[in-house]
Amino acid sequence: MSEDYNEIESALRSLRPRSPGPSVAAGIARALQTPARPAAPKKNIILWMSSALATAACLVGVFLFSRNESNSLSPEYQLVSAEQSPAAVDILSPVELSDGSYARPVRLLWNNTTHWADTKNNTQLIDYRPAQQLALIPVETY
């Protein structure tokens, strides 16, 4: 830029905002002089009823969650067994990487199984989760 930064900064510092016009001042004075209206009786009743209902709902929730009795219909599962199968290893053909070196992909496969049972309802839950992991092992060639 051809202008000096000091000149621009001094010009910006000299700027001052204009005073508001008479219509703005008159509008603010009118807004401050009008009395606030009281809330309508209907709104007071609605607010009172909603707060009473919220309080009642909180009390019912506290009562229901504080009881020590357990619901006889809900299942109570207990862990019977947890197993992890031996990992199967797949060694794949070497691949060339972007830097020109070679690596061999290796894939591991295994299964996680958990068995849950509820003796009250005679129900069982078996969670079977197969899993795999892929890794690259660098191949050194001389």
Res 23: pLDDT: 87
User: Where do the domains of the chain lie?
Assistant: 23-66, 78-139
Cα(24)–Cα(101) distance, rounded to whole angstroms?
76
Does the predicted model carry a pTM greater than 0.75? no
Cα(42)–Cα(46) distance, rounded to whole angstroms?
6
SS3 readout for 53-104: HHHHHHHHHHHHHHCCCCCCCCCCCEEEEEEECCCEEEECCCEECCCCCEEE
**For the segment 103-136, what is each residue's pLDDT rounded down to a tens digit?**
999 999 999 999 999 888 888 999 999 999 999 9
State how far Cα 8 lies from the chain centre.
48
